[in-house]
Structure 1
Amino acid sequence: MTNTHSTGLRAAAFLLMTGASLPALAQAGPAQPPQEATTAGTPAADEEIASDQAPRTNADGLEEIVVTATKQVTNLQRTPIAISVASAQALEDRSVQSLLDLGDGSIPGLRVATFEARQSAVTIGIRGIVPLDANQPAREQGVGVYLDGVYLGRQQGLGAALLDIERIEVLKGPQGTLFGRNTSGGAVSMITKAPTGRFGLRASIGAGNYSAVNGNIHLDLPAIGPFSFKLDAAADYRDGITENPLPGQKDFGYYDRKGFQAKMRFKPSADFVADFAFDAGKDKNTPFYSQLINFNPNGYPVGTLTGSLPSSQVRPLPPLVQIVPDRVQKVADIGVPQRPSVDKTRGVSANLRWNVADWLELRSISAYRDVSVDQWDNVGGAHRPPVFSPNGLFSRYSLSYLEQNQYSQEFQAVGRLADQLDYVFGVYWFREKAFEEAATPSSLRWNADGTAYTVVDPCTGSGGFGSLPGCRSIDRGSRVTSSSRAVFGQATWTPPGMEKLHLTVGGRYTNDKKDGVLYLFNNQPSRCPPTLTTAPLCTLDLDTNRFNPLVTVAYEPTRSINLYAKYATGYRSGGASSRSVTYREFGPEDVKSYEIGAKTEWFDRRLRVNAAAYIMDRTGSQVDFSTVVSTGGTSTRNTLDTINAPGTTKIRGLEVDFIARVTDNLQLSGAYAYTYTKVPDTADPQRPGSPLVPVFIVFTPRNVANGAIDYELPLAWNNAKLRFHMDGNYNQGTQSFAEYATKNDSSFVVNARLALADIAFGNNLFTLAAWSRNLFNEQYIYRRDPSTSLPNPTTGAVNGVTGEYANFGTPRTYGLELSVKL
Structure 2
Amino acid sequence: MMHDADQTGKSRQFSLSILSGAIAFATAISGTAYAAEIEEVVVTAQKRAENLQDVPIAISAFTGESMKEMGVENLTDLGKFTPGVEMNNDTPLQPTYSIRGIQTGDFTVGSDPAVAVYVDGVYTGRGAGAEVPLADIERVEVLKGPQGTLFGRNATGGAIHIITKKPQADDTAELSLTAGNYGRQSSDLLLNRQLSDNLYGRFTASNNRRDAFADNLAGGFSAGNQDTQTYRASLLWEPSASTEVLWRADYGVMDQGSALRSSIVPSLQALDGGTDVFGDYALDTPTIEDRDSFGTSLTVTSDFENFTLTSITAFRKFDAHLQQDEDGTANPDYMFGSANFDEQEQFSQEFRLNGATDTLKWTVGASYSQEKLEHLTEAYFTSGSLESFAVYEGTKMAYEAQKAQAEAAGIDFPELTQTELEDLAVMQRQYYRDLGLEGIAAASFVYDLMLQSGQVDQLLAAFGAPAGITGNMLNSQAMAMQLLAGFQPWVAGDVPWNENVLNTGDYRSTAVYGDFTWSLTDKMDLTVGARYTYDEKDFTIQTAYQNAIPIALTGGNVPLMDANGNVIGVLPLPALQLPAQPFGMAFYNNGQPMLDSKLNDSWSDISGRIVLDYRWNDDVMTFVSLADGFKAGGFNSLNFGPGVEPSFDQEDVVNLEIGVKSSLFDNRVRLNASVFSYEYNNLQELDLVGSPIPSYNLRNSDAEGTGAEVEVQWAATDNLFIAGNYSYLDTEFTKYGYIEAIGETPADAEEKIGQPRVSTPESKFNVMAEYTIDMASGADVRLRADYNWTDERIGSISDPSRIIDDYQLLNLRAGWNSASDRYAAALWVQNATDEEIAGGYGGTGAAIGASPAWRYMPRTYGADFTVRF
> What TM-score do the two structures reach when normalised by structure 2?
0.77
Please say if 1:751 is aligned against 2:811: yes
Question: Structure 1 pair 619/320, CA: closer, same or farther in 2 (3 Å)?
Answer: same
Shift of 1:284: 2.3
String of CA shifts for 1:5-34, please: whole Å, max 9, x gaps.
Answer: 9974633553575589xxxxxxx9xx9xxx
SS at match of 2:629: strand
The equivalences for 1:175-574 within 5 A come to 175-249=147-221, 251-295=222-266, 317=268, 320-322=271-273, 328-329=278-279, 331-332=280-281, 334-357=282-305, 359-378=306-325, 380-382=327-329, 393-417=333-357, 419-442=358-381, 473-495=498-520, 498-522=521-545, 530-531=589-590, 533=592, 536-574=595-633
Name the structure 2 match of 1:300: none
Amino acid across the alignment from 1:488: Y
Name the structure 2 match of 1:128: 101
Q: Whose helix proportion is higher, 1 or 2?
A: 2
String of CA shifts for 1:168-222, please: whole Å, max 9, x gaps.
Answer: 0000111000000100111000000000031011110110011010010110012
Name the structure 1 match of 2:765: 705
Partner of residue 786 from structure 2, selected from 714, 724, 727: 727
Report the Cα distance in structure 1 between the residues aligned to 2:844 and 2:862, rounded to whole angstroms.
38
The equivalences for 1:615-764 within 5 A come to 615-626=677-688, 639-645=695-701, 648-685=702-739, 686-689=742-745, 691=747, 692-694=750-752, 696-717=756-777, 719-741=778-800, 742-760=802-820
Shift of 1:110: 1.6
Given that 2:35 and 2:668 are in contact with CA atoms closer than 8 Å, whether structure 1 keeps it comes out as no
The equivalences for 1:571-650 within 5 A come to 571-581=630-640, 582=644, 584-626=646-688, 639-645=695-701, 648-650=702-704
Report the Cα distance in structure 1 between the residues aligned to 2:319 and 2:328, rounded to whole angstroms.
26
SS at match of 2:128: coil
SS at match of 2:37: coil
Amino acid across the alignment from 1:148: D
Report the Cα distance in structure 1 between the residues aligned to 2:182 and 2:237, rounded to whole angstroms.
43
Report the Cα distance in structure 2 between the residues aligned to 1:317 and 1:605, rounded to whole angstroms.
58
Report the Cα distance in structure 2 between the residues aligned to 1:377 and 1:2, rounded to whole angstroms.
22
The equivalences for 1:5-24 within 5 A come to 8=13, 10-11=15-16, 13-14=18-19
Question: Structure 1 pair 532/93, CA: closer, same or farther in 2 (3 Å)?
Answer: same
Name the structure 2 match of 1:49: none
Name the structure 2 match of 1:62: 38
Amino acid across the alignment from 1:579: L
Amino acid across the alignment from 1:437: L
The equivalences for 1:110-125 within 5 A come to 110-114=85-89, 117-125=90-98
Report the Cα distance in structure 2 between the residues aligned to 1:600 and 1:146, rounded to whole angstroms.
28
Partner of residue 138 from structure 1, selected from 107, 110, 119: 110
String of CA shifts for 1:224-271, please: whole Å, max 9, x gaps.
Answer: 24221110110111111221234442x221110110011011101110
Shift of 1:319: 5.5
The equivalences for 1:778-789 within 5 A come to 778-785=835-842
Report the Cα distance in structure 1 between the residues aligned to 2:718 and 2:236, rounded to whole angstroms.
37
Given that 1:528 and 1:537 are in contact with CA atoms closer than 8 Å, whether structure 2 keeps it comes out as no
Report the Cα distance in structure 2 between the residues aligned to 1:597 and 1:780, rounded to whole angstroms.
33
Question: Structure 1 pair 739/680, CA: closer, same or farther in 2 (3 Å)?
Answer: farther
Shift of 1:158: 2.9
Report the Cα distance in structure 2 between the residues aligned to 1:464 and 1:323, rounded to whole angstroms.
27
Shift of 1:288: 3.2
Shift of 1:82: 0.5
Question: Structure 1 pair 510/318, CA: closer, same or farther in 2 (3 Å)?
Answer: closer
Given that 1:572 and 1:589 are in contact with CA atoms closer than 8 Å, whether structure 2 keeps it comes out as yes
Question: Structure 1 pair 216/124, CA: closer, same or farther in 2 (3 Å)?
Answer: same
Shift of 1:340: 2.5
Report the Cα distance in structure 2 between the residues aligned to 1:517 and 1:759, rounded to whole angstroms.
62
Report the Cα distance in structure 2 between the residues aligned to 1:237 and 1:397, rounded to whole angstroms.
25
Shift of 1:381: 4.0
Report the Cα distance in structure 1 between the residues aligned to 2:705 and 2:370, rounded to whole angstroms.
31
SS at match of 1:404: strand
SS at match of 2:65: helix
Report the Cα distance in structure 2 between the residues aligned to 1:595 and 1:673, rounded to whole angstroms.
14
Shift of 1:661: 0.6
Given that 1:252 and 1:379 are in contact with CA atoms closer than 8 Å, whether structure 2 keeps it comes out as no
Shift of 1:693: 2.5
Report the Cα distance in structure 1 between the residues aligned to 2:100 and 2:861, rounded to whole angstroms.
31
Question: Structure 1 pair 550/479, CA: closer, same or farther in 2 (3 Å)?
Answer: same
Shift of 1:382: 2.8
Larger mean CA deviation between 603-612 and 10-19 belongs to 10-19
Shift of 1:740: 2.5
String of CA shifts for 1:72-123, please: whole Å, max 9, x gaps.
Answer: 11111111111000111211111222222224x2011121122xx4342211
The CA RMSD measured in Å over matched residues stands at 3.1
Given that 2:98 and 2:157 are in contact with CA atoms closer than 8 Å, whether structure 1 keeps it comes out as yes
Question: Structure 1 pair 287/693, CA: closer, same or farther in 2 (3 Å)?
Answer: farther
Shift of 1:726: 0.7
Given that 1:218 and 1:231 are in contact with CA atoms closer than 8 Å, whether structure 2 keeps it comes out as yes
Given that 2:11 and 2:792 are in contact with CA atoms closer than 8 Å, whether structure 1 keeps it comes out as no
SS at match of 2:622: strand
SS at match of 1:131: coil
Question: Structure 1 pair 788/279, CA: closer, same or farther in 2 (3 Å)?
Answer: closer
Name the structure 1 match of 2:405: none
Shift of 1:533: 4.7
String of CA shifts for 1:744-785, please: whole Å, max 9, x gaps.
Answer: 11111111111011343xxx6101101111111111212012
SS at match of 1:221: strand
Report the Cα distance in structure 1 between the residues aligned to 2:233 and 2:383, rounded to whole angstroms.
45
Question: Structure 1 pair 71/6, CA: closer, same or farther in 2 (3 Å)?
Answer: closer
Given that 2:725 and 2:767 are in contact with CA atoms closer than 8 Å, whether structure 1 keeps it comes out as yes
Given that 1:206 and 1:213 are in contact with CA atoms closer than 8 Å, whether structure 2 keeps it comes out as yes
Given that 2:226 and 2:256 are in contact with CA atoms closer than 8 Å, whether structure 1 keeps it comes out as yes
Report the Cα distance in structure 1 between the residues aligned to 2:114 and 2:2, rounded to whole angstroms.
30
Given that 1:18 and 1:707 are in contact with CA atoms closer than 8 Å, whether structure 2 keeps it comes out as no
Amino acid across the alignment from 2:722: L
Please say if 1:98 is aligned against 2:80: no
Shift of 1:157: 2.9
Shift of 1:630: 7.9
Identity between Structure 1 and Structure 2 (%): 26
Larger mean CA deviation between 572-581 and 614-623 belongs to 572-581
